[in-house]
Structure 1
């Protein structure tokens, strides 16, 4: 069977949970990883509580091929992700010489204060992930990739690490829409799902000015089965449209 590579995203920050900041990284990572053939299988939002971050990182790194974290690596007191990741791996947090040099070159010695210097510290053994926008790097330690929460900076970091990631076949997707009602097609859709077990079928009702209906999204690495499945779904929808 085709090897399936699975990833988990850990979104770190009280601002996400409070609603004061809306996460924009999940959709980006899901799409980008899919193109590499890595399935973003789970996402968790964790508050700025050290014990919760450490527990989550240790749990997911043991259960997924890849773990990506976003948020909490800035210069302020509540940016605690790096220390937590170091604690999760049981290693010290150290000033990385390459990160230090990059930040000195960018800010100059006179502007590289203690707050900014915090961003040059990474867990012992970590590999830096470049950041072309604000210079302070992300990093990789084993299968955990630690990135910024600011979307543009996170995307810059991801573009650097993406070529190093190993995946399987990209997941293909087909979407069909209809004015059919979910209650009418539920049984038939369940039968199709059982027939095409390697196709993930999702049903999403919608409501708008143009009326109501349902959108069926099908995803699979098997192009032939995806096509056959979509034909069966279209036939079902036509019966109730």
Structure 2
């Protein structure tokens, strides 16, 4: 683990996501996974199966962050154009990868079928890319530059993420503490803003919820990479909450 901050973005590709036919289950999973690794997920974009949209988004993201994870569009159908678009973004040829072909042949030998034109589409990899193995269904993803291309099917995407995780550079992990306010978000918002201003290197979030008594309540989450600063800000929030609750009780 390095002392630097490592950043990432996710590019979700597919008309089915934007139309609502498929509900994305990958963004939250990747976000949790990145946090656990010590990588800051900074941006998520969702684009249609449109070449110019994919290439434009990919070039913007790969220039801004350490890693870009793409999901979707690497299947056997005509609208699975992610590999084509990534090759175009990098200015390289799309090639049939010998190892990918061998993987698909082995898979088909086990489950039946033929390595037809549609399935061969899934063996095309941008020149210079390396395979991301898929222990679930065989057809691999790939990694080129700082772009890691994975399937959209959640179980397959998760398996691919497990494959690449040990190879990712990671930064200092973000630590967090959660504090139950026992007050409404509106009662503490101004005070939280003052604490945040006094501690710009920490992140403070407030999340309203209905508690076990059916009343409005708030969870306050403090985040920092520095354990000492995290403790200082948590103490400041707890002291503020004590004051606010006393004021509310006094009417």
> What TM-score do you get using the length of structure 1 for normalisation?
0.95
Larger Rg, first or second structure (1 or 2):
2
Name the structure 1 match of 2:218. Answer: 214
The equivalences for 1:75-224 within 5 A come to 75-108=76-109, 111-207=114-210, 210-224=214-228
Find the aligned partners of 1:13 and 1:2 in 2 and give their Cα distance. 36
Cα distance, 1:240 vs. partner? 3.1
Find the aligned partners of 1:77 and 1:207 in 2 and give their Cα distance. 47
Q: Which runs of 5+ in 2 are unaligned?
A: 246-251
Cα distance, 1:208 vs. partner? 6.0
Secondary structure at 2:159 match in 1: helix
Find the aligned partners of 1:129 and 1:177 in 2 and give their Cα distance. 42
Secondary structure at 1:8 match in 2: strand
Find the aligned partners of 1:112 and 1:239 in 2 and give their Cα distance. 70
Find the aligned partners of 1:96 and 1:156 in 2 and give their Cα distance. 20
Secondary structure at 1:145 match in 2: strand
Find the aligned partners of 1:178 and 1:15 in 2 and give their Cα distance. 40
Name the structure 1 match of 2:36. Answer: 35
Deviation string for 1:26-62 (max 9, x for gaps)? 1211121122221011111111111000000001101
Find the aligned partners of 2:58 and 2:161 in 1 and give their Cα distance. 19
Find the aligned partners of 2:51 and 2:237 in 1 and give their Cα distance. 47
Find the aligned partners of 1:208 and 1:84 in 2 and give their Cα distance. 48
Secondary structure at 2:134 match in 1: coil
Q: Which of 229, 236, 246 is equivalent to 1:232?
A: 236
Tell me whether 139-148 or 222-231 shows the greater mean CA deviation.
222-231
Q: Which runs of 5+ in 1 are unaligned?
A: none
8 A Cα contact 2:48 2:54, kept in partner: yes
Find the aligned partners of 1:175 and 1:78 in 2 and give their Cα distance. 44
Secondary structure at 2:232 match in 1: helix
Find the aligned partners of 2:24 and 2:107 in 1 and give their Cα distance. 28
Cα distance, 1:110 vs. partner? 5.3
Find the aligned partners of 2:22 and 2:81 in 1 and give their Cα distance. 18
